Amino acid sequence: MQLSLKKLGSFEGRKGPLLLIIMDGIGVGPQDERNAVYLARTPNIDRLTGSRFYTQLQAHGTAVGLPTDQDMGNSEVGHNALGAGRVFDQGARLVNRAIEKGEIFETDLWKRIVQRGEEGGTIHFLGLLSDGNVHSHIDHLFAFLDRCAETSIKRVRVHALLDGRDVGERTALRYVIPTEKKLKKISKERGLDYAIASGGGRMKVTMDRYNADWSIVKRGWEAHVLGKARPFSSASEAIRVFYEEGPAVTDQYLDAFVVVDGRGNPIGPVLDGDAVICFNFRGDRAIEISRAFSEKDFSEFDRGPLPDILYAGIMEYDGDLHIPPNYLVHPPAIDRTISEYLCSEAVEMFAISETQKFGHVTYFWNGNRSGYIDENLETYIEIPSDKIEFDRAPAMKAPEITKRTIGLLEERSYRFGRLNFANGDMVGHTGVMEAAIVAVETVDRCVGDLLKVTEELGGIAVVTSDHGNADLMFTYDNGGNRKVRTAHSLNPVPFAIFDPGYNREYEMAPVERPGLSNVAATLLNLLGYEKPEDYDPSLIRMAGST
């Protein structure tokens, strides 16, 4: 389908470029000691939030396609909404519906998985064991376990990745113990053999993304498939021992472990004839392990002899590269993104971020599409992230991103650019307040440098975020004790337009419950185009319009 945009009659944009700055993980939180954004010195952000072109956007729950407004947003769905200009049903909502209606168990793929179990193979479930609802949900695993039990699948193994990021930082036992009890109950009542076989913290085991550190995936492969990791009699024992040995360690950084029997043998390595289901619904941290399981010519690390495995994702994690080849629930079909429209109008543009968020300003922004839409019009730049814990270097690659972006802007060949500063999110996830404050202050300085260049070039900058995180670094329990918070917040995010050449061409529009999906139409207006008819409303309206 040939796409096209209509030009606005009253505004054709500025002579300079339009720059979208996404301050990842920087939301609008309480103005108190819990909020690293509030505690940080942010003169540039303060100037923007005090301007006439400022509002706050919903970045969680139904505003980004998630089931309820108690569901925190994340960078994946946030960038989908930013780039698509509309809200699509996302991960958890799609899986919920497929399970509730039983559709997932009627697929040919599920029948092939069951057949493996009936023929003597083990069915393995691999994924993040929590109710964070960002990458996965424990309820989905439990639904699979119940179905396997009802079908009398004899042997099931769970490979539990521990969260501590989208939920409390030391809450692993809250999920592992009920899972162990459920598996034990199924085994006893039905005469089956169900158990947790291996696991580890998500930032140390299996869940790498964007090819940042394949050693994480290798550790997972060795634990889940080869049964090689520190041995314990149960997952709960492993967690308790890790807690005792490292009083400051959090769940996301726990080492790999395997569960062994009385003779010290691992109880659940993946063998010939088995099936493996990854029950994470979010794609970014599931792609690499999916490649390890499903690629014939895999070269990222030595897998050893590859068993005959039927591997499936709960969803397709990369729609263009078809990773994995087998999946149970189809992802949202996001078409006609803003970049597709701009390419149809021959608008030259760039996208830039460091590794941790590069896929967000490209793949997720483009509607879960890999690669360029038009490589003759687009430039994508990835700044490699450091492979260290982010609280140790909270500036991350923001200065490098800023310097490179300024260079791109000064070329004067790009009409639109977008970038992501990962600091507020990645450092916020560490739970270290002092580091988060430095991260936010770094982003603020970089924003200031970019605003200066934007003004010099006669352009416009739009500054926003994809979800909150650093804006709520801890909470208090009922006893008044401080509890470190490493998850995303439910707070709104800032949205501001910096337009030094403003001459009353437009004003903020009265949009009811504005959200991230309203940004695309706004960007098109600022470039001099009308929004597509089915895009969500713009946050601005042209002078004289009603």
Q: Tokens standing for 11? A: 């505004």
Strands of the sheet containing 275-278, edge to edge, are 230-232, 257-259, 193-201, 155-162, 123-128, 275-278, 310-315, 327-329
- The amino acid at 115: Q
Instruction: Identify the sign of the CA torsion 474, 516, 458, 342.
Output: positive
Q: Using an 8 Å Cβ cutoff, are 193 and 221 in contact?
A: no
In the chain the first and final C-alpha atoms are separated, in Å, by 31
Closest CA to 128 of 158, 155, 87: 158
CA atoms within 13 A on the CB side of 387: 10
Identify the active-site residue in 75, 136, 353, 385.
Answer: 75
At 406, list the tokens: 């300024």
Q: What is the H or E stretch that residue 314 is in?
A: strand 310-315
Cα separation, 29 vs 472, in Å, equals: 6
> How far is 38 from 156, CA to CA, in rounded Å?
48
Q: What is the dihedral of CA 307, 308, 314, 318, to 10 degrees?
A: 80
How would you classify residue 293: left for phi > 0, otherwise alpha for psi between -120 and 50, otherwise beta? alpha
Q: What is the DSSP letter of 227?
A: -
Cβ atoms 545, 11 nearer than 8 A: no
Amino acid at site 63: A
User: Which CA distances in Å does 400 have to 212, 352, 419?
Assistant: 17, 10, 12
| 208 in Cβ contact with 272 (< 8 Å) | no
Q: Tokens at residue 495, please?
A: 């949205």
Contact partners, residue 466, CB within 8 Å, separation at least 6: 22, 24, 25, 59, 73, 74, 75, 78, 79, 82, 360, 420, 493, 516
Q: What's the rounded Cα separation, in Å, for the pair 225 and 228?
A: 8
- What is the length of the chain? 546
How far apart CA 107 and CA 114 sit, in angstroms, is 11
465 labelled catalytic? no
The residues annotated as belonging to the active site are: 75
